[in-house]
């Protein structure tokens, strides 16, 4: 079974502070991990995927298979980063068609 856990429902930081949104997963095979973001009054959109190993809007995420984690990090948060963030997993092989989402973390960056 595939499962994604985001332990923090809410996260509040000040502008310029580092931010880390936690994501843990459960999957027996080789998963592909994603972070999706939903800004206020906008649709859900892909932020980054582990396979790309890139930094988007200053955010990075490293897949740690030993700890089954895919935490999202940014060294200096900006007010425009305030949004809902979802971690998602896609399985391999026969289950590579569906995304399994966590419950999301609402990030608020205060001025």
Partner 1 sequence: ETGVTQSPTHLIKTRGQQVTLRCSSQSGHNTVSWYQQALGQGPQFIFQYYREEENGRGNFPPRFSGLQFPNYSSELNVNALELDDSALYLCASSLASGSIYEQYFGPGTRLTVT
Q: Which two tokens stand for residue 31?
A: 């998963």
E runs forming strands in the chain: 3-5, 10-14, 19-21, 24-26, 32-38, 45-49, 60-61, 72-74, 83-90, 99-101, 105-110
In the complex, minimum distance from the CB of residue 72 to partner 1, in angstroms, rounded to a whole number: 15
Q: Contact positions toward partner 1, by CB under 8 A?
A: 4, 6, 32, 43-46, 49, 51, 86, 88, 90-92, 95-104
Closer CB to partner 1, 17 or 51, in the complex:
51
Closer CB to partner 1, 2 or 60, in the complex:
2
In the complex, minimum distance from the CB of residue 111 to partner 1, in angstroms, rounded to a whole number: 27
In angstroms, the CA 27 to CA 95 distance is: 11
Closer CB to partner 1, 15 or 50, in the complex:
50
In the complex, minimum distance from the CB of residue 96 to partner 1, in angstroms, rounded to a whole number: 4
Number of separate helices (H) and strands (E) present in the chain: 0, 11
In the complex, minimum distance from the CB of residue 58 to partner 1, in angstroms, rounded to a whole number: 20
Q: Which two tokens stand for residue 100?
A: 């399994």
């Amino acid at each position: 079974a595939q499962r994604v856990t985001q332990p923090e429902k809410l996260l509040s930081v000040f502008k310029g502070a580092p931010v880390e949104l936690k994501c843990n997963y459960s999957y027996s095979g080789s998963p592909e991990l994603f972070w999706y973001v939903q800004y206020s009054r906008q649709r859900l959109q892909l932020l980054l995927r582990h396979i790309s190993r890139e930094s988007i809007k200053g955010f990075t995420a490293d897949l740690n298979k030993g700890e089954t984690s895919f935490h999202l990090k940014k060294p200096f948060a900006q007010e425009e980063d305030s949004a809902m963030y979802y971690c998602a997993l896609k399985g391999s092989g026969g289950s590579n068609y569906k995304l399994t989402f966590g419950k999301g973390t609402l990030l608020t960056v205060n001025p």
